[in-house]
Chain A
């Protein structure tokens, strides 16, 4: 690593000598291991290592970037030259030089929280784990589709900037999930997934796998699959709705996290991901939700999928309020966008690899827990619906409206969960929805849910984000099928 650090530091210095007013070099090495089982057979076992270095420069007030996977002095020199040339080309059009909000410079080593390094666990043991999980599902004879997977990632990174920051980071992620179902014909089929659609991912080691009691969950899920096959479609009506924590997690992601990305607010995503209704003139004024809605960014959380020591422009991770008592009070920002609102960066600038420029990404963005238990919430609903496990999501490009689908819904009558509905959907306007939140469940059902596949940017980047959430009760929700 010392050699790589030297290459990155030399690259930064070389960029400065070629005319860059600012430069940073990022070496990133990502090791992935993914194993999956499908219907009793191992479907795939994949291992990969991806590493390279990206050089980002500000030349004449404009950005240039070049990344390469060939790590030697000659190639890094080429990368620096290309980055500076590209920056110079950008400057020909830009009459507003980029300004960066101040940040301290750091020299630090950061290692994420984990107990067992999953890359120290033998492949055989991992395959046995999946085989056992598949066996638990196979014990339910009615199930004829069974999928399970475990995934591990280790990221080793070094960041050097022309402002003197030198940071090494090592971060480990683990994931686990299953999907089971019954397929009788092309149209007659039902599935359930657990812990959520696509699995649960956290900033943890191999210990994550032992946190789930699949043995007791699988019979419940199997019964729900059978109930779905016999169920009526979710009725179309406007009604009180309770949303399971993992559903709330994606609602936070799509309807709070994305619209509060400050690059998006300033139009950088206009051509792709879209804009935001939460414009800067509304900061401190916009009633985003009911007074019990408190949302914050916190990449220092020990186990979020966006937990890190420093973002990809060397800003130290810290907690920042986004919505306080229902009012918009902050954004997810970078040094460049923070300077545009005379603020400091919230440390949300990340790239998905060495080969892309960092952009603002959702961090661990969480809805603070409330004061009702989940049972209190359900028993407070006389006539309503309970939505579980997101299966589909579609927000508008400015995030002001949405339509989502879930795997399963259950009727709530007289404070008790009742019959199952299939193909439930719900839709609405973002501000109306969050303003109609009447209850937020407490810490006992609060969890940080990982989203390992958040797409944004051109070229497309796939970020890992997380959202802390507990179940919520919302009035007047438009549901259907």
Chain B
């Protein structure tokens, strides 16, 4: 994995550029993952890689080139390649400038114990789960991964940023002989704080239910979503609406609605890279400092997240949410938090006369992006709630629901939040009790 010395290599390489502005970005990762299924490790791997991007600009012509060869000669070739692309490009009239150098807040998301967690340590952890699973005649599948990541950004305007962090992620599906399954996952920066036993036990307990699942009729139900399911929705909401590019193109469900209520009063969503449980890298892929952004405040649309390009178009400041230079999606939030409520999960279940407890969703996809209507399935831990108690498992059902409507019908939020990984993002979200949630036959 790269260290801060790469900024020296960048500085030298930038001097060779003939472009008006030049940017070099390097993301470096040492990644390990142990994958198991049927109570056996079937895939166990490590990877060391560094991706480097150059963005060269002549006037308003932009060229981007990428490689994973970080030798000094390669840096020079990368710059030349980006220059050639830029020279052949047409003007992008909306481009203003790369970001100037700005002060970056220091964060400390690098934990040596996480980085050094060994293959034998991961195998021991899996062996412990398998032992507990076998004692209950369950079969386990899952992953345990640990990684370290460094990001370095330098540009010809003086930006020089470097930071590193670590991350662990854990997922587990336990399955009983009758097909009943339970799911749990966790993520964080410091593996020493990870309560491996407690998290894995959640999945084992769900799969250990002795009653066969019941089939329910399609309809509108009161549901209690575990944080995993909430995060599944939040990922899609962010994808459909929180980024500056979508807002600029009038394609976001928040376009033209800032100041208007679009969700329930009890919903506040912030992008908070500095939250102590998230500890995201303090700057983005163009070296701009990350800022906390209140996206939804008490149900009212407040703001999106921006990189320098779309901030310029929107007449605002970058919030530090640029993705790598060759992405075409635009800025995106990767550290979202939904404010908690005041209820315990037991109170939420106890207040439900007839409802469904949903662990997570599967294969959500848009049916009508304008309505934020998604389709998908419940999976790995769906239970019936009767008279304030979880009584029996339910055969999984198809979800067909507008996410904005769901977030407008939230009756209760838990005080407890969980940190849920969703692709490259970490989300800190509570349980939600939602009324009138549409479920159909699978």
Task: Determine if chain A interacts with chain B.
Answer: yes
Instruction: List, in ascending order, chain B residues with CB within 8 A of A392's CB.
Output: 365-367, 375
Number of interface residues of B (CB under 8 A): 79
Instruction: List, in ascending order, chain B residues with CB within 8 A of A458's CB.
Output: 33, 35, 43, 143, 171
Cβ of A453 under 8 Å from chain B? no
- A123 to B61 CA separation, bound complex (whole angstroms): 14
- A42 to B398 CA separation, bound complex (whole angstroms): 40
User: Which residues of B are interface residues toward A (Cβ below 8 A)?
Assistant: 31-51, 63-69, 81, 84-85, 88-90, 92-93, 118-120, 122-124, 126-127, 130, 139, 141-143, 145, 171-173, 175, 250-253, 255-256, 326, 328, 362-368, 370, 375-377, 379, 396, 398, 400, 423, 442
Instruction: List, in ascending order, chain B residues with CB within 8 A of A92's CB.
Output: 120, 123-124, 127
The 20 sampled A-B contact pairs (Cβ below 8 Å) are A47-B66, A48-B326, A49-B69, A65-B43, A67-B45, A68-B48, A69-B48, A69-B68, A86-B46, A89-B118, A92-B120, A93-B127, A95-B40, A123-B88, A186-B251, A271-B141, A356-B45, A396-B362, A405-B375, A458-B143
Nearest-neighbour CB distance to chain A for B183, whole angstroms, equals 8
| Contact yes or no, B42 A397, CB < 8 A | no
The one of A83, A127, A395 that contacts B88, using a Cβ cutoff of 8 Å = A127
Q: In the complex, what residue of chain A is closest to B366 when comparing beta carbons?
A: A392
Among B43, B66, B171: residue with most chain A CB under 10 A: B43
| Contact yes or no, A405 B33, CB < 8 A | no
Number of interface residues of A (CB under 8 A): 74
- A75 to B398 CA separation, bound complex (whole angstroms): 49
Q: In the complex, what residue of chain B is closest to A98 when comparing beta carbons?
A: B42
| Contact yes or no, A64 B44, CB < 8 A | yes
Q: Name the interface residues of A76-121: CB closer than 8 Å to any CB of B.
A: 79, 82-83, 85-90, 92-96
- A36 to B64 CA separation, bound complex (whole angstroms): 13
The one of A69, A185, A394, A401 that contacts B50, using a Cβ cutoff of 8 Å = A69
A93-B41, A458-B33 known; A355 and B47 CB under 8 Å? yes
| Contact yes or no, A46 B47, CB < 8 A | no
| Contact yes or no, A459 B123, CB < 8 A | no
Instruction: List, in ascending order, chain A residues with CB within 8 A of B379's CB.
Output: 397
Instruction: List, in ascending order, chain B residues with CB within 8 A of A36's CB.
Output: 328
- A103 to B139 CA separation, bound complex (whole angstroms): 31
Nearest-neighbour CB distance to chain B for A153, whole angstroms, equals 13
- One digit per residue, 1 when the CB lies within 8 angstroms of any chain B CB and 0 when it does not, for chain A 157-173 equals 00000000000000000
Starting from the known contacts A186-B250, A396-B442, 7 additional A-B residue pairs (CB-CB under 8 Å) come to: A52-B49, A92-B123, A123-B88, A271-B35, A355-B49, A392-B375, A458-B35
The one of A47, A63, A131 that contacts B43, using a Cβ cutoff of 8 Å = A63
Q: In the complex, what residue of chain A is closest to B71 when comparing beta carbons?
A: A70
The one of A47, A66, A69, A185 that contacts B85, using a Cβ cutoff of 8 Å = A47
| Contact yes or no, B47 A68, CB < 8 A | yes
Nearest-neighbour CB distance to chain B for A51, whole angstroms, equals 7
Cβ of A445 under 8 Å from chain B? no
A52-B49, A356-B47, A392-B367 known; A47 and B65 CB under 8 Å? yes
Q: Name the interface residues of A367-392: CB closer than 8 Å to any CB of B.
A: 392
Instruction: List, in ascending order, chain A residues with CB within 8 A of B84's CB.
Output: 123
Q: Name the interface residues of A112-153: CB closer than 8 Å to any CB of B.
A: 123-124, 127, 131
| Contact yes or no, A274 B362, CB < 8 A | yes
- A186 to B247 CA separation, bound complex (whole angstroms): 10
| Contact yes or no, B88 A52, CB < 8 A | no
Q: In the complex, what residue of chain B is closest to A336 when comparing beta carbons?
A: B42
Nearest-neighbour CB distance to chain B for A432, whole angstroms, equals 13
The 6 closest A-B pairs by CB, nearest first: A48-B66, A89-B119, A270-B141, A271-B141, A65-B45, A46-B326
Instruction: List, in ascending order, chain B residues with CB within 8 A of A89's CB.
Output: 34, 41, 44, 118-120, 122-123
Instruction: List, in ascending order, chain A residues with CB within 8 A of B256's CB.
Output: 186
Cβ of A187 under 8 Å from chain B? yes
Instruction: List, in ascending order, chain B residues with CB within 8 A of A395's CB.
Output: 363
Instruction: List, in ascending order, chain A residues with CB within 8 A of B45's CB.
Output: 64-67, 86, 356-357, 459
Nearest-neighbour CB distance to chain B for A325, whole angstroms, equals 29
A64-B44, A397-B363 known; A270 and B37 CB under 8 Å? yes
Q: In the complex, what residue of chain B is closest to A89 when comparing beta carbons?
A: B119
Q: In the complex, what residue of chain B is closest to A70 when comparing beta carbons?
A: B48
Cβ of A50 under 8 Å from chain B? yes
- A64 to B123 CA separation, bound complex (whole angstroms): 12
- A85 to B35 CA separation, bound complex (whole angstroms): 15
Q: In the complex, what residue of chain A is closest to B43 when comparing beta carbons?
A: A357
Q: In the complex, what residue of chain A is closest to B253 when comparing beta carbons?
A: A186
| Contact yes or no, B127 A186, CB < 8 A | no
| Contact yes or no, A67 B48, CB < 8 A | yes
Cβ of A219 under 8 Å from chain B? no
| Contact yes or no, B326 A401, CB < 8 A | no
Cβ of A183 under 8 Å from chain B? yes
Instruction: List, in ascending order, chain B residues with CB within 8 A of A272's CB.
Output: 143, 171
| Contact yes or no, B31 A403, CB < 8 A | no
- One digit per residue, 1 when the CB lies within 8 angstroms of any chain B CB and 0 when it does not, for chain A 21-57 equals 0000000000000101000011111111111100000
| Contact yes or no, A90 B326, CB < 8 A | no
Nearest-neighbour CB distance to chain B for A184, whole angstroms, equals 10
A47-B65, A93-B130 known; A187 and B363 CB under 8 Å? no
Q: In the complex, what residue of chain A is closest to B175 when comparing beta carbons?
A: A270
- A393 to B365 CA separation, bound complex (whole angstroms): 6
The one of B67, B141, B364, B377 that contacts A48, using a Cβ cutoff of 8 Å = B67
Among B92, B143, B375: residue with most chain A CB under 10 A: B375
Nearest-neighbour CB distance to chain B for A448, whole angstroms, equals 24
| Contact yes or no, B119 A85, CB < 8 A | yes
Q: In the complex, what residue of chain B is closest to A46 when comparing beta carbons?
A: B326
A86-B119, A271-B172, A394-B365 known; A127 and B89 CB under 8 Å? yes
A49-B68, A86-B46 known; A43 and B122 CB under 8 Å? no
Instruction: List, in ascending order, chain B residues with CB within 8 A of A45's CB.
Output: 63-64, 85, 88-89
Nearest-neighbour CB distance to chain A for B427, whole angstroms, equals 18
Cβ of A212 under 8 Å from chain B? no
Instruction: List, in ascending order, chain A residues with CB within 8 A of B92's CB.
Output: 41-42
| Contact yes or no, B41 A397, CB < 8 A | no
Instruction: List, in ascending order, chain A residues with CB within 8 A of B124's CB.
Output: 92
| Contact yes or no, A187 B370, CB < 8 A | yes
Cβ of A300 under 8 Å from chain B? no
Instruction: List, in ascending order, chain A residues with CB within 8 A of B44's CB.
Output: 62-65, 86-87, 89-90
Q: In the complex, what residue of chain B is closest to A125 when comparing beta carbons?
A: B88
| Contact yes or no, B88 A69, CB < 8 A | no
Instruction: List, in ascending order, chain A residues with CB within 8 A of B442's CB.
Output: 396, 401
Nearest-neighbour CB distance to chain A for B286, whole angstroms, equals 15
Instruction: List, in ascending order, chain B residues with CB within 8 A of A220's CB.
Output: none
| Contact yes or no, A63 B42, CB < 8 A | yes
A92-B120, A186-B255, A405-B367 known; A51 and B68 CB under 8 Å? yes
Instruction: List, in ascending order, chain B residues with CB within 8 A of A271's CB.
Output: 35, 37, 141-143, 171-173
Cβ of A414 under 8 Å from chain B? no
Instruction: List, in ascending order, chain B residues with CB within 8 A of A67's CB.
Output: 45-49
The one of A52, A69, A93, A427 that contacts B36, using a Cβ cutoff of 8 Å = A93
Instruction: List, in ascending order, chain A residues with CB within 8 A of B400's CB.
Output: 403
The one of B63, B90, B172, B326 that contacts A41, using a Cβ cutoff of 8 Å = B90
| Contact yes or no, A394 B377, CB < 8 A | yes
Instruction: List, in ascending order, chain B residues with CB within 8 A of A93's CB.
Output: 36, 39-41, 123, 126-127, 130
| Contact yes or no, A459 B31, CB < 8 A | yes
Q: Name the interface residues of A295-331: CB closer than 8 Å to any CB of B.
A: none
- A458 to B377 CA separation, bound complex (whole angstroms): 20
- A189 to B369 CA separation, bound complex (whole angstroms): 11
Nearest-neighbour CB distance to chain A for B254, whole angstroms, equals 9
| Contact yes or no, A268 B42, CB < 8 A | yes
Instruction: List, in ascending order, chain B residues with CB within 8 A of A83's CB.
Output: 46
| Contact yes or no, A82 B142, CB < 8 A | no
| Contact yes or no, A396 B396, CB < 8 A | yes
| Contact yes or no, B139 A62, CB < 8 A | no
Instruction: List, in ascending order, chain A residues with CB within 8 A of B38's CB.
Output: 266-268, 270
Nearest-neighbour CB distance to chain A for B203, whole angstroms, equals 10
Cβ of A423 under 8 Å from chain B? yes
Nearest-neighbour CB distance to chain B for A3, whole angstroms, equals 15
